[in-house]
Amino acid sequence: MRSVVVAVVVVVAVVLVVLSPRFGRANPTADYRPPVPADALTNGCYPLPAGLRLDFPYQVRRDGPDPTVAGRRRLVVQYDEVSDAEVRRRLDAALAAAGLPASAAVVTPLADRPADAVVRGTIVLSLPAVADQRPGDPVCSDPASTKRQADS
């Protein structure tokens, strides 16, 4: 009797599996794994000044109007893997290429930085204010991508 039940269950299962493509396809939403947001400096919304390019690994942490100086933009990025001296050197070159003074970037090494740290410090850039270059594009109103947070 038991083996008959098992056999029936197996046959029904196999039939259902074979027929399953005919029933349609489920639609998972991936809600719990949203895509990585586009980088704030390359999404086309609030680009860097012409000629300025950060040629080291970085992630933008905050962007928005500078609360202390009207008409200026305050951009906070973390730099990865490169040394403090190297990032300073590359920043100076990049700022000069964009016609900006070296004082536009303040580099602060990470506090309590472990020897094998990936994220090595923070750069605060003081830049000319920039308007949204692609108004209406949903990406440009998404703080996950622009890093323009409500409280920044």
Q: Give bridge partners of residue 65 from the DSSP assignment.
A: 73
Residue 67 binds other proteins, judged by CB under 8 A: no
- Kindly report the backbone phi and psi dihedral angles of residue 120, in degrees, each rounded to the nearest multiple of 5, phi listed first: -110, -15
Q: Please identify which residue in 7, 16, 102, 106 interacts with other proteins, judged by CB under 8 A.
A: 16
Smallest separation (angstroms) from other proteins to the CB of 151: 6
**CA dist., res. 69 & res. 32, Å (int):** 39
Taking the least distance from each CB to other proteins, the nearer of 98 and 119 is 119
CB neighbour list of residue 146: distance below 8 Å, 6 or more residues apart: 40, 43, 45, 46, 63, 139, 140
Residue with tokens 């100086």: 69
What's the min distance (Å) between Cβ of 99 and other proteins? 26
Both tokens of 7, joined, read 């056999």
Nearest CA-CA partner of 78 in 40, 124, 113, 147: 124
- The stretch among 9-17, 43-51, 89-97, 129-137 that binds other proteins (CB under 8 A) is 9-17
Please say which residue, 35 or 71, places its beta carbon nearer to other proteins.
Answer: 35
Stretch that binds other proteins, among 64-72, 94-102, 125-133, 144-152 (CB under 8 A): 144-152
- Among 2-10, 66-74, 95-103, 109-117, the segment contacting other proteins (CB under 8 A): 109-117
Which residues contact other proteins (rule: CB under 8 A)?
13, 16-18, 20-21, 23-34, 36-37, 39, 57-59, 61, 78, 80-81, 110, 112, 114, 117-119, 122, 143-144, 147, 149-151
